[in-house]
Amino acid sequence: MIRTALYNKHVALSARMTDFAGFEMPVQYTGIVKEHLAVRDSVGLFDLSHMGEFQISGSGAESFLQRMTSNNVSVLEEGQAQYTTLCYENGGIVDDGVLYKLESSYLLVINASNIEKDFNWLKHHLVENVELNNLSNDYSLIAIQGPKAREVLLALTDDRQTVEHLP
């Protein structure tokens, strides 16, 4: 099984590990109910490093993504994201994910179990002036969730303006 960069930390914190799409991931630490309540009342951190990340760039990237996803990509401003789906020509769903607009490219975060399938599907539909890169092994992802998530982020960064714009 594949281990994320945080694997040793999970084990040191006595996480119960499980197989998730070929990744050895924590399923719980002290108990599901206690952890659920902690996130609802305070804050929780989740290792999402098993997710896939694709970079889409080039002068045709926006129009390519406009055709390949279900949302209006053109409304995204730098630093924004949208939940979207990749769709087959007949309207069926290939997968869902989150599309981020970066300074000079887009980053599509997709489900771990579909990394190879989604990459090959997008690659099959590539057009001129679009570059597709699988960066899934280059990124670690951590989700910070709960009513005190902003406080945690503010303690970790001096960039108050960015944190205050988060939902």
Sequence-ordered list of residues with C-beta below 8 angstroms from that of 164, at least 6 positions apart, any chain:
150
- What does the pLDDT read at residue 160? 79
pLDDT at res. 81 = 94
Q: What is the CA radius of gyration of the chain?
A: 18
Regions of the chain where pLDDT drops below 70:
167
Q: How many domains does the chain have?
A: 2
* CA pair distance 62, 163, nearest whole angstrom: 27
Report angle CA 33, 13, 23 to the nearest 5 degrees: 85
In terms of domains, do 71 and 116 share one? yes
Residue 129 and residue 145 share a domain = no
> Do residue 129 and residue 153 come from a single domain?
no
- The Cα 90–Cα 58 span in angstroms is 27
Q: Which CATH number covers residue 146?
A: 3.30.1360.120
Residue 167 pLDDT? 65
**Residue 81 token pair:** 């994201």
pLDDT at 121: 97
Domain, as residue range, for 121:
62-134
